[in-house]
Structure formats: C-alpha cells, structure tokens
Amino acid sequence: MKLKFMKYRKLSYWIAGALIALSVLSLILRGLNYGIDFAGGISMEVKPISAEYTIDKMRADLEQFNPELQSIGDNGAVLVRVGLPKGATDAEQNQRVAEIKNILGDKVEYSQVQIVGPKIGGELVRGGILAVLFSFLLMSVYVWVRYRGGYAVGSFISLCLDFVIMFGFFSITGLEFNQTAIAVILMGVGYSINDKVVNYDRIEENIKKYHKMPMDDLIDLSVNEMMRRTIMTGVSTILAMVALFLFGGPALRDFAIAMTFAVIMGTFTSIYISNVILYHFNLRDETK
C-alpha cells in the first residue's frame, strides 16, 4: 500500500505553524529550565543513613533554601539541588555548602558535591549558544553547497524549524536545559538533516527516471520507497533510548526523552516539511 503523504500537505503547514507558535510563546513566557551548570548552584547526591529520614523530611529541613529534591536509583539516594544568590563569591558558595551539611548533619552520607558559580554558569551558557550557532552555520553551508533551488530552500527551512522546535520542546516540558541538552539538540538536528538528505537523493533519482509523473505522486513514491529505511532507523534509535530511559539512571533519563522526541520530530519535518516545500518548485528544470 502506497501512502499519500502529499494529500495532507496543507495540514502539515498548520501543524508546523502551531509547533513554531507554541515553541516561541513558551520560550518567551516560560524560558528554559537552566540546570546548575548554566544557572549556577549546588548539587549534592546524598543517601539517608536511616529509612526513617525520608525525602519529605529532608525537604522540610532545607526549606529555607528552596531546594529541588529528587530520588535517584534504587538505593534510596537523593539528589539535592540548591540555587545560589546572583553574584555569589567563592566564600559564599562554600558557606552555603557548609550550612546545608550542618542541617543534614550525620543523617546522610555524601556521594557527590558539585558547585557551579554564576560566573562559570554564564560562561557555559555563552559556550553553548556559540556551539549551537556554529553548528547551525555549518549545517546551513552544507545545505547550500549540497543542494540548489527548491532542495536548498526546503532543507534550510526545515533546519530552522528543527532548531526552534527542539528549543521549544525543552521549554514546554521543563526538562533541565544543560550541556547535555545542547548535545541532544545538535544530535537531533543532525539526525534530521541526514534523513532529509536520504529522501532528497531518492527524489532526485526518481525525477530523472519518471519524466511525466506528477510531482505530488513522485514525492509520495520517493517517500514510500524510503519508508522502510526511515522506520527501521527511527525505531532502532528509539529502542536504544527506551533502554537508556529504563536502565540508564536519572542522569540519562532526560537525554533519552529528548532524543526520542528529536527522532520523531526529524522524521516529521523530513516527510511533511522539507518534502512538501519541494512541491512548490519546478524540480525538473533544476535537475537538468
């Protein structure tokens, strides 16, 4: 059975527009949930000595610091995250750690203590932004060198859409935005671009083969021919992310969720954005 993707091309524009609007609004109104490595703060991994010292009691003891507590693993360990005052000095950071340890006392064991000052966090934010911008620039150059005409326009528009939606996803879901999130965004967009290149190559081949076939039928044919490869690649990647989510621990859980969304998003923008845009260009003249 051949699926008629181009039949729903107008609906795809509405879906893409809604995703962009939601992403931009969320980024404006909610922003990003910066992790400690970007915002600065204290992260402690502790394990209560006694089962009677629950996470709720720990939260109550640290209430004055407005902490974020999260159970991790199966051994009763707790991740404690506490923010730092803007412009906190090294002495003030160490003082905050001492205050927390003084409150928790001998009721917990400490596995890990991490301090990221606001200054370092700001530098990491700038570095992350530069990494995203540089990657976007390189991918844009690749698109314009690799393609021309409608192919270049379709690739570039879908590339912009990929970046906007990925940032919007982190904003809407509230997942922690840190250095790992930057890696997920770049990996996800890279996956999406690769999928588009494969689809475009097949469309180019079919244009040379079927000289009189209507463009919507030709695009549908090309996508259907690549559908098995698209499904197998996407499903295998998602299965790996499911394994990370189930067995990788809290540190990899957000990564697995975001990467799964990136695969789904990349597949959607390949089929229903970059390919749909081609419908509006005379590709046969461009192929000559």
Give residue-wise pLDDT tens across range 69-124: 877 766 778 888 887 766 667 777 788 888 888 888 888 888 888 777 655 556 66
pLDDT (0 to 100) of residue 25: 95
Give the other-Cβ count within 10 Å of 209's Cβ.
10
φ/ψ (deg, to 5) at 117: -75, 155
Strands (E), the chain: 33-34, 41-48, 68-72, 77-83, 108-116, 176-177
Rounded CA separation 60/82 (Å) = 14
Cα atoms in the Cβ-side hemisphere of radius 13 Å centred on 26: 20
Q: What does the pLDDT look like over 30-83, one tens digit per residue? A: 888 877 767 677 888 888 888 788 888 888 888 888 787 877 766 778 888 887
The one-letter amino acid code at 197 reads V
Rounded CA separation 189/167 (Å) = 11
pLDDT category, 22, cuts 50, 70, 90? very high
Select from 203, 205, 192 the least CA-distant residue to 233: 192
pLDDT surpasses 90 at 21: yes
Query: Sign of the CA dihedral 67, 70, 76, 82?
Result: negative
φ/ψ (deg, to 5) at 48: -60, 140
